[in-house]
Structure 1
Amino acid sequence: MRKQAFLLLFALGMSSAWAQQATVSGPDNLLKVDVSVNEGIPFYSVTYKGKTMLEDSPLGFVSNVGDFSKGMAYTGQKTRSIEESYTMDRIKRSKVDYRANELTVTLQNADKKPIDITFRVSNNDVAFRYEIPRYGDTGSIVIQQEATGFDFPSYTTTFLCPQSDPMIGWKRTKPSYEEEYTPDAPLTQRSQYGRGFTFPGLFRIGNDGWVLVSETGVDSRYCASHLSDADTEGRFTIAFPMPEENNGNGTVAPGLALPGVTPWRTVTVGDDLKPIVETTVPWDVVEPRFTSEHDYQYGKGTWSWIVWQDASINYEDQVRFIDLASAMGFQYVLIDCAWDVNIGYEKMEELVAYAHSKHVDVFLWYSSSGYWNDIVQSPTNQMDNPIVRKKAMKWLKKIGVKGIKVDFFGGDKQETMRLYEAILSDADDYGLMVIFHGCTLPRGWERMYPNYVGSEAVLASENLVFQQHFDDMEAFNACLHPFIRNTVGCMEFGGTFLNKRYNRTNDGGSVRKTTDIFQLATAVLFQNPIQNFAITPNNLTDAPQLALDFLREVPTTWDETVFLDGYPGKYVVLARRHADRWYIAGINAGKEPLKLELNLPMCRKGDKISYYSDTKDRAPQQEDMEIKRPEKVKVTLQPEGGIILVK
């Protein structure tokens, strides 16, 4: 009897233990998430091919409705399979087939209040979020702190961009996701400012694989988040915006109407970098926020400000850049800050009409303005005010402007997310596309907002003009972006320079260290549906003809993206397809020639391709090449140089 009683108690204990955990795997069963509750604290862990990618990492949050991070009990679960297909015209693939297994775990806190945590697991991606019901008469909640964490093995190294201090930088406009990355850093190395790190974050799990961590689905209903500094055990947690952001205005803690959901946090996993570069999870798990009656067209543009700077924002110089766009067959010209003062509204109507006569459309710059920075570049105090904003957009529509570039946001609070969404929503009413600059990371916005066409949120091309240091580091940084920043969203970099020097007369200012082919390769490597290139009118006569011809032909939207080779900060080779044409582009950040043997599955034996490369003296060249062995195509990338193969 005593033995039977012991066995019964043992069985009950095991049942209780099993009731506190659940598992969900991807469709191919290689990626697995385990969810458990240990002494009242919920955790999840991630393995891939049996190897640990994330150790037990905490879940939950603290709110004004209750504490959902401890004292939790497991009360149930449900599962389902997801099979969805969608099309997109602004991301790395035009058609996506999303297959995932979903696990929803229901937990209950000490006050018997439930929450759901939903995990979606595809073959290489994990996405999870909190789903919060209404609690009787309680119809709203403030999330005061998240316990959500990412606990990496001790042998992990990091590729991270620090979150800056708030209210610093140009006219107190930071944070703006423009700090410098540190590659292969120790797991617990503290961030530059002690403020944590921006999304996305890339992690190398020793020799076991790679992990990319980010978030998606952030809109007006939550704040944008970032990663804290790691603790001594290598655990990062979700960090909310800093109180000082946006000049101290707006709350740090996001508020939700109930029932409500938080954004998705995403974990992309692979034993190599291919799943990281090719992931579509930022768009797989979000839904459009609104539909549009407008058909937006994407393409290439000229942009005087990037090289000729403020002094170029006048009628005559803008005519020259419109003529340049026309000569290159580009669709757009971007006219930057102070156009309202230096050109004026009446003359701008004339200028837009002139652009249309040359078959060129116009984007105009605006400051985000408001009470959160000291910006004086105009137009100011328009995009932050719904009454004034709609009046401005009505005028833009009347004169035929196709889009706006809105700059200087400097914060991640929920209030700032509301401004992003309000600008996009109002702009769509008037048929305007929107580029954001000096801004936060886009988080699934290509699928959520039909008129969204790009964000900077990176140490972009303007820095090459401002300081020689960034030219010296250009190749290194360019070899990071396809693995980190550009994996999760459009990147409005504004590069592809053909000037050797960055001033109006191409004979002064910063010195470009990279080759012409390197610059052309970034037109493929950096993905954004509107590409405002940094070419200038003099390039029509002083740049190599092959470079001009390439820029005339290269597309800005892609149907497929394939990672071929590379290592963050050292080199990268990608292939992108537009319709039936492949562009294979590579760049080398090293100081020595790099010889590679590429496997090109998109090619067949006997295919004729155009091969762009650098000579040993850094001159660009183009020749015809016949593919003899698609699985072993030998190429050489010169120091700070590149290659392009067009099939």
Structure 2
Amino acid sequence: MVNYSKHNIVERISLAFLVIVLNIQSVFAQQVKLQSPNGKVVVGVYNGQATGNSGWYLTVSYYDQGKITEAVPRIDLGLVRSDQEFSKEMQFVKAGKPVLINEQYNAVHGKRSACNNTANEVILFFANQGKARINLIIRAYNDGFAFRYEFPEKIGTFQIKEELTAYTIPMKTLRWMEKWNPANEGYYAAMSGDKVKKQEWCYPALFMTSDSSCWFLLHEADLDRNYCGTKLSNSIDSSKYKLSFPDAGDGRGQGSRTPSITLPWRSPWRVGIMGSLQDVVASTLVDDVSAPSVIKNTDWIKPGLVSWNYWSDNHGTRDYKTVCAFADLAARMNWPYTLLDWEWDVMRNGGNVEDAAKYILSKGVKPLIWYNSGGDHTWVSSTPKDRMLTHENRVAEFTKLKKLGFAGIKVDFFESEKQDMIKYYLDILEDAAQFNLMVYFHGCIVPRGWARTYPNLMTYEAVRGAEWYNNGPDFTTAAPEHNCILPFTRNVVGAMDYTPVTFTNSQFPHITSCGHELALGVLFESGLQHLADRPEGYYSLPDAARSFLKQLPAAWDDTNLLSGFPGKDVVIARRKADAWFIGGINAESREKKNKISFDFLTPGVQYKLTLIADGSHDKELSTSYQVVDSASSIDLKLLRRGGFAACVYPLK
């Protein structure tokens, strides 16, 4: 076999020539290297004894167009278990035979319907000084890498006191990161060099190497009841992001911050999505590595658009007539759902929740309904509360909901990623599936791949979304840049309930154009897409824009990033069947010109393009029509903080 050093250019190879190097003559030289099927991602495993640190670590390099970039020069490995440590002085036992993971699956909703879980995998076997065993499972994907720990023994219950996984990132690497907060509702900040702050950070985190040749996004996936959620912390060393457990005070101090495990056990996957910026945005890697669906029949799971009364009237669901107006909106706009948000249990002014459900169903629309997650883990007293807390509570409530015709539930205010809360999330999903109820979470965890395992999980909040126009004046000026960061960060890893596409104002105003707002319906992916404006905001739109929103899908067959840079601008095309929808926005306070190429279209087919772009000012939309094909391109002008939306249908 060919032995490539980590500084050599690595040629593209197939699995038959997978690079596995093991020099057992010297402990200092022990190393394993694994390449992705296309040869672009290279994961190296090294023993650090030569550098005075006896721990094992990974490196991740990216090879493209004759150039190799050491994107992540070091990932420290190890766990501290309640009975012993698995980090330093680990003895390498053997490397398993490399295997090709090659799995195709279909997603019910998300950025792509036909997905591939394809990677080269190797398992490395280690033993600590006490002869206890630990395995490291490594995968190299065409669009990234993943690794996890495994305790293979069959007996034993322990606590994990600390995870020692830590990513060393060169200070000159540009990064976009969100300060840790339990609801995952902050802003992303761009930084590098001496501007890098030392603190705790949310997932996911985006990085661009200093030579701009490689982008990567750090996250975790396939989190289950056997662990807690983690976050990134560089509080000790600016250049080293160590995985840390939830804070003791999260969830009002309820639950243990350290997870308990029973052997045999596997950790969640530690995931890095890697490649070009287009590769990152299009990746389904977080779902790919996660467990397959436990729901056999998914025909009842129906993605769709939702009318939502909270943004325009924080007490809208308390008023029966308001609920009816939003049901009428959904029916008129051909949206399948409307949401009854908080205070539905005190509805008045002509009807109660049972009356509302009957009215909504009479319009050919299905109702969704909100719940406070309840319990001592949340300080929020909003009702109805505590109806999700136990299996018995849920069965009783879900039985009532099915009789009334409800299609799904929204559960809010979790405020913790401790192990007990992870169990609570999954218990809700499993019980809801027994009643054919769709679920979405608010005040919650960032996606961890659960939508593959439980496809009735339609979306999560875990984002500073349009609701924040109600919470203070800062979102008005921050939103344009924020909107141009989310497609490269938070929304990459799973559905995002931003509640977009608003043309009127809430408590604090917009400075984004109507073209910008219309584009968000395409740019932001969510299996249940809540369009948040009041009815007159949609009724007053030009015919083309209103028609666009009537046709807009909430689940996609393909996704392509056409252009963009975090915080500056972004253009994404998404396909449903043989039609494409395109959204593009400008974050900056100056006009921009953008050229859109249609080379993603099927060659030899002509399409009708309907383009809805900024007009002469930010409250005006301009619509144009033309025939395009895969050789076509168009020039666009985007207003400051502007945008556009388009749909492209094949000509019959």
- Calculate the TM-score normalised by the size of structure 1: 0.91
Please report the RMSD computed on the Cα atoms of aligned residues, expressed in angstroms: 2.0
Q: Distance in 2 between matches of 1:13 and 1:548?
A: 65
Q: Report the more deviating stretch, 355-364 or 89-98.
A: 89-98
Match for residue 56 of structure 1?
74
- Does the Cα contact within 8 Å between 2:346 and 2:352 map onto a contact in 1? no
Residue 343 of structure 1: CA displacement?
A: 4.7
Residue 541 of structure 1: CA displacement?
A: 4.2
Matched, 1:176 2:183: yes
User: Which runs of structure 2 are paired with 1:543-562 in the superposition (5 Å)?
Assistant: 543-562=541-560
Match for residue 481 of structure 1?
486
Equivalent residues, number: 613
Match for residue 11 of structure 2?
none
Match for residue 122 of structure 1?
141
Match for residue 600 of structure 1?
598
Residue 345 of structure 1: CA displacement?
A: 13
User: Which runs of structure 2 are paired with 1:493-642 in the superposition (5 Å)?
Assistant: 493-499=498-504, 501-502=505-506, 509-603=507-601, 607-618=607-618, 619-627=620-628, 630=631, 632-642=633-643
- Does the Cα contact within 8 Å between 1:124 and 1:269 map onto a contact in 2? yes
- Does the Cα contact within 8 Å between 2:499 and 2:531 map onto a contact in 1? yes
Give ranges in structure 1 of 5+ residues lacking alignment.
1-11, 165-174, 503-508
SS of equivalent residue, structure 2 residue 25? helix
Q: Distance in 1 between matches of 2:417 and 2:350?
A: 33
Choose the corresponding residue for 2:417, options 412, 426, 443.
Answer: 412
Q: Report the more deviating stretch, 204-213 or 562-571.
A: 204-213
Q: Report the more deviating stretch, 221-230 or 522-531.
A: 221-230
SS of equivalent residue, structure 1 residue 602? coil
Residue 275 of structure 1: CA displacement?
A: 1.1
SS of equivalent residue, structure 2 residue 26? helix
- Does the Cα contact within 8 Å between 1:19 and 1:74 map onto a contact in 2? no
Q: Distance in 2 between matches of 1:346 and 1:532?
A: 24
Choose the corresponding residue for 2:35, options 9, 25, 34.
Answer: 25
Choose the corresponding residue for 1:47, options 50, 61, 64.
Answer: 61
Q: Which amino acid aligns with 2:203?
A: F
- Does the Cα contact within 8 Å between 1:340 and 1:379 map onto a contact in 2? yes
Matched, 1:36 2:40: no
Residue 183 of structure 1: CA displacement?
A: 1.6
- Does the Cα contact within 8 Å between 1:188 and 1:234 map onto a contact in 2? no
Residue 230 of structure 1: CA displacement?
A: 5.6
Matched, 1:287 2:291: yes
SS of equivalent residue, structure 1 residue 610? strand
Q: Which amino acid aligns with 1:637?
A: L
Q: Report the more deviating stretch, 631-640 or 597-606.
A: 597-606
Choose the corresponding residue for 2:222, options 217, 221, 242.
Answer: 217
Residue 492 of structure 1: CA displacement?
A: 0.9
Matched, 1:328 2:333: yes
- Does the Cα contact within 8 Å between 2:545 and 2:612 map onto a contact in 1? no
Residue 550 of structure 1: CA displacement?
A: 1.2
Choose the corresponding residue for 2:309, options 283, 299, 304.
Answer: 304
Match for residue 6 of structure 2?
none
Percent identity over the alignment is 31
Q: Distance in 1 between matches of 2:645 and 2:309?
A: 27
- Does the Cα contact within 8 Å between 2:251 and 2:415 map onto a contact in 1? yes
Q: Which amino acid aligns with 2:196?
A: Q
Q: Distance in 1 between matches of 2:419 and 2:244?
A: 13
Q: Which amino acid aligns with 1:28?
A: N
Residue 17 of structure 1: CA displacement?
A: 3.8
Closer, same or farther: CA 17–382 of 1 in aligned 2, 3 Å: same
Q: Which amino acid aligns with 2:140?
A: V
Q: Distance in 2 between matches of 1:307 and 1:581?
A: 32
Residue 217 of structure 1: CA displacement?
A: 0.5
Choose the corresponding residue for 1:460, options 461, 465, 468.
Answer: 465
SS of equivalent residue, structure 2 residue 335? coil
- Does the Cα contact within 8 Å between 1:366 and 1:378 map onto a contact in 2? yes
- Does the Cα contact within 8 Å between 2:28 and 2:47 map onto a contact in 1? no
Q: Distance in 2 between matches of 1:225 and 1:181?
A: 18
Matched, 1:644 2:608: no
Closer, same or farther: CA 186–540 of 1 in aligned 2, 3 Å: same
- Does the Cα contact within 8 Å between 1:37 and 1:74 map onto a contact in 2? no
Choose the corresponding residue for 1:95, options 101, 114, 129.
Answer: 114
CA-to-partner distance for each residue in 1:94-115, whole Å, 9 max, x for gaps? 0012321001111111101111
Give ranges in structure 2 of 5+ residues lacking alignment.
1-21
Q: Distance in 1 between matches of 2:611 and 2:240?
A: 46
SS of equivalent residue, structure 1 residue 474? helix
CA-to-partner distance for each residue in 1:71-117, whole Å, 9 max, x for gaps? 11111111111111111021111001232100111111110111111
CA-to-partner distance for each residue in 1:494-527, whole Å, 9 max, x for gaps? 111021x22xxxxxx3221111111111000000
Q: Distance in 2 between matches of 1:296 and 1:630?
A: 37
Q: Distance in 2 between matches of 1:226 and 1:429?
A: 32
Closer, same or farther: CA 368–628 of 1 in aligned 2, 3 Å: closer
CA-to-partner distance for each residue in 1:218-262, whole Å, 9 max, x for gaps? 122210111012644611111110011111111111112210100
Choose the corresponding residue for 1:439, options 434, 444, 464.
Answer: 444
Closer, same or farther: CA 393–344 of 1 in aligned 2, 3 Å: farther
Matched, 1:201 2:199: no
Q: Distance in 1 between matches of 2:418 and 2:29?
A: 38
Residue 584 of structure 1: CA displacement?
A: 1.7
Q: Distance in 2 between matches of 1:28 and 1:13?
A: 25
SS of equivalent residue, structure 1 residue 305? coil
Q: Distance in 2 between matches of 1:299 and 1:33?
A: 40
Q: Distance in 1 between matches of 2:594 and 2:41?
A: 31
Q: Which amino acid aligns with 1:43?
A: Y
Q: Which amino acid aligns with 1:251?
A: S
Q: Which amino acid aligns with 1:75?
A: V
User: Which runs of structure 2 are paired with 1:129-208 in the superposition (5 Å)?
Assistant: 129-134=148-153, 138-164=155-181, 175-186=182-193, 189-191=196-198, 194=199, 196-207=200-211, 208=213
